[in-house]
Structure 1
Amino acid sequence: MHQVYFVRHGETVWNVENKICGATESPLTERGREQARAIGRELRARMDAGELKLDRMLCSPLSRARDTAEEIANILELPLAVDVRLREQNFGKWEGTARDGEGFQRAKENFIDSFGGGESMMRVAQRIYNLLDELREEKETSYLLVAHNGISRIVESYFRDMENEEFASFGIRNAALRAYSFPEGV
Structure 2
Amino acid sequence: MIYLCRHGQTEWNREGRLQGRTESDLTALGRLQAAAMADLLFDLVAREPAATWTLVASPLRRARMTAEAIGRRLGLPLAFDERLLEIDVGEWSGRLRDEVRGENSHLAGDDAWGFHAPGGETYEGMMARIADWLADQAPEPERRLIVVSHGVAGRLLRGAYASLSREETLAQDVPQDALYRLSAGQIDRLDCEPIEEPAC
Range of TM-score over shorter length: 0.7 to 0.9
1:159 corresponds in structure 2 to: 161
The CA deviation at 1:98 is 3.3
Measured against aligned partners, the alpha-carbon deviations of 1:116-164 in whole angstroms (never above 9, x if no partner) come to 1111111111111011111143753400110100111111211334444
CA contact (8 A) 2:140 2:184 kept: no
- Which of the numbers 93, 96, 99 marks the counterpart of 1:95? 93
Share of identical aligned residues, percent? Answer: 34
1:149 corresponds in structure 2 to: 151
1:80 corresponds in structure 2 to: 78
Change (3 A) 1:27 1:178: same
Letter of the structure 2 residue corresponding to residue 34 of structure 1: L
CA contact (8 A) 1:105 1:168 kept: no
2:122 corresponds in structure 1 to: 120
2:193 corresponds in structure 1 to: none
Q: How does 1:19-30 map to 2 (within 5 A)?
A: 19-30=17-28
- Which of the numbers 28, 37, 40 marks the counterpart of 1:39? 37
CA contact (8 A) 1:47 1:54 kept: no
What TM-score results when the alignment is normalised by the length of structure 2? Answer: 0.78
- Which of the numbers 97, 107, 112 marks the counterpart of 1:109? 112
The CA deviation at 1:24 is 0.9
Q: How many residues align?
A: 179
Change (3 A) 1:182 1:132: farther
Higher relative CO (Cα under 8 Å, sequence separation at least 6) belongs to 1
CA contact (8 A) 1:5 1:178 kept: yes
What TM-score results when the alignment is normalised by the length of structure 1? Answer: 0.84
CA contact (8 A) 2:159 2:165 kept: no
1:168 corresponds in structure 2 to: 170
CA contact (8 A) 1:6 1:177 kept: yes
Taking the aligned partners of 1:134 and 1:61, their CA distance within structure 2 comes to: 18
Letter of the structure 2 residue corresponding to residue 65 of structure 1: A
Listed as ranges, the gaps of 5+ residues in structure 1 are none
